[in-house]
Structure 1
Amino acid sequence: MAKSLVTAVKEKSILQEIAPEYWEQACRELMKQDRILKKIIPKYGSGFLVTRGDAFTTLARAIVGQQISVAAAQTIWDRVVIASKKKMNPKNILALTVEELRAAGLSGRKVEYIRDLADHFNSGRLHANQWKDMDDESVIQELSAIRGIGRWTAEMFLIFNMIRPNILPLDDVGLIKAISLNYFSGEPVSRHEAREVAANWAPWRTVATWYMWRSIDPIPVEY
């Protein structure tokens, strides 16, 4: 029998130190509200959403991960980090040539995006210190003004950097795949159907999304 969430939390004291403060409450409520999550959450009870806390790194990783698998994104990201002398910051990214970034595995378009992102941070055009006081949609709108950052990337930022609890990234291929497999026996799922399923997850849609990702990929998603 799978360990209860409470037991897993007690055994992993690190969870109380690093996990989002709402994580345990969210898991309890989601297991009560959703029959599928009631089965999935105990399998990964000791796992949780991890953030690196750095806005540039989170956004850069999200750009790298656009429309590719978690494993492929990790491989490319590791190469980018090595190319930047293992110090991921705007200055080091701008110091790399287009050829060096392409050699790390980035597409031409993603090279443009990550360099533009670095330039926004390096020039001080972003006011990251204000984001914590803005609501989800306001942050999404501001980030979407940066070239290469659309709604999906902005939502990844809200999830992995700002740890907002109720984000539903309907443009995420992994989430849609997981909803299809877990709720529709693998049949194709529309955005409307996915949204209906996720209505039961509020106000913890970020947490439910994380467990959906874990249900289809052994590698925890990180940005």
Structure 2
Amino acid sequence: MFFPTPTQPPDWSAAIKHLRRDAKLRRYIAAVGPCTLIPRDNPFVMLVRSIYSQQISTTIAATLYGRFAGRFPRKTPTPRRVVAALSGGWDDATIRHVGLSRQKREYVLDLARHFEDGRIKPKLLYKMDDPAVIETLTRVKGIGRWTAEMFLIFVLNRPDVLPVDDLGLREGVRRLYGLAERPRPQTVREIAEPWTPWRSIATWYIWRGMSALKSEN
């Protein structure tokens, strides 16, 4: 286990108290309820999942990743076994069956090699500051800033990440503040400034709030 997995979510009460000062965001917080973000305990697996999810639906990605993981002991791929599998251990038919295009195969293999040869050290990711994590992860083929920011939020639970290139966040900000069009990244930064140092939690509430309020209508 690379990161501690708590038996219950972290205490985000300070974040919620701070964010409730925003009258509009307060509505989303009320609709969603407690923040349930918890850290995840296997960064390699989470990053493989993120590569699988690129450009396809969440449902399809989960199915294909399940096929991939199912070929490893305890359904848990490790860097060493992934390198062996994708460097010649699996034939082309198997690779297609588990849903890896030629490009995604290169991405997953490059990720596995970064973990296997020590260019990415899982325990150190937990200790790095946010810019260092982003710099480290974006050296891997197929992992851009957005994926690294999702890793910071959902795996490491860093509290003050603002993924301004995320279309869901920008659309959520547009709806929340009654804007005529989807705001540009700089506008999102300006709107989000009062959320500091809890911009990750605000982002999470905006994502969840859109779904929660839609289901009420």
Q: TM tier, shorter chain?
A: 0.7 to 0.9
Distance of 1:213 and 1:180 partners within structure 2: 12
Structure 1 residue corresponding to 2:41, chosen from 53, 58, 64: 53
Q: Which residue of 2 aligns with 1:180?
A: 174
Matched residue SS, 1:119: helix
Q: Where do residues 168-207 of structure 1 align in structure 2 (5 Å cutoff)?
A: 168-184=162-178, 187-207=181-201
Query: Which whole-Å CA distance do the structure 2 matches of 1:92 and 1:167 have between them?
Result: 32
Verify the 8 A CA contact 1:66 1:153 in the aligned structure 2.
no
Q: Distance in 1 between matches of 2:24 and 2:94?
A: 45
Question: Residues 1-223 of structure 1 correspond to what in structure 2 (within 5 A)?
Answer: 17-21=7-11, 23-32=12-21, 34-84=22-72, 86-94=75-83, 95=85, 97=90, 99-184=93-178, 187-217=181-211
CA contact (8 A) 1:83 1:100 kept: no
Distance 1:215 1:189 in 2: 18
Residue range with higher mean Cα deviation, 123-132 or 69-78? 69-78
Instruction: Please identify, of 117-126 and 71-80, the stretch whose mean Cα deviation from structure 2 is larger.
Output: 71-80
Check the 8 A contact 2:173/2:188 in 1, yes or no.
yes
Q: 1:100 to 1:18 in 2, by over 3 A?
A: farther
Query: Which whole-Å CA distance do the structure 1 matches of 2:63 and 2:23 have between them?
Result: 35
Q: CA RMSD in A?
A: 2.5
Give identity over the alignment, percent: 40
When normalised by structure 2's length, the TM-score is: 0.79
* Structure 1 residue runs of 4 or more that deviate by more than 6 Å after TM superposition: none
In structure 1, the gaps of 5 or more residues are 1-15, 219-223
Distance change in 2, residues 1:217/1:80 (3 Å): farther
Q: Extract unaligned runs of 5+ from structure 2.
A: 1-5, 213-217
Q: Report the count of equivalent residues.
A: 201
Alpha-carbon distance in 1 for matches of 2:141, 2:167: 21
